[in-house]
Structure 1
Amino acid sequence: MPRWVWGVIVVLILLIWVVPNPTAAGTAVGNAFQALVVFFRSLGSAAVG
């Protein structure tokens, strides 16, 4: 996926979750980011192993 698509996704996440409720958004965005990290790490380990 092109980099600009990821930029649009991040901006949408900020507009949908962070702006309306900043306190709850911290946890939601953090969990989503952790999930992405775990997903890409599992892809990397599957490709290597």
Structure 2
Amino acid sequence: MPRWVWGVIIVLVILIWVVPNPAAAGAAVGNAFQALVVFFRSLGSAAVG
């Protein structure tokens, strides 16, 4: 896909999910980041133990 199509998609996602409720969007991003941290920690502990 052309690069401008991805730009339009990203702007639409921001307008649809982040702008109407920024607190919930921030919480969702935080939860996703925390889930990734937990996932990689579990991979590390599984590799060690």
Give TM-score, length-normalised by structure 2. Answer: 0.58
The reply to whether residue 22 of structure 1 matches residue 16 of structure 2 is: no
- For residue 8 of structure 1, what is the aligned residue in structure 2? none
CA distance in 1, matches of 2:31, 2:44: 20
Structure 1: tracts of 5 or more residues without a match: 1-11
The RMSD of aligned alpha carbons is: 2.1
CA distance in 1, matches of 2:17, 2:42: 27
Counterpart AA for 1:30: G
Sequence identity percentage: 86
Structure 2: tracts of 5 or more residues without a match: 1-9
CA distance in 2, matches of 1:37, 1:30: 11
- The structure with the larger Rg is 2
| 1:23 to partner: Cα distance | 1.6
Report the count of equivalent residues: 37
Give TM-score, length-normalised by structure 1. Answer: 0.58
Q: Which runs of 4+ in 1 moved over 4 A?
A: none
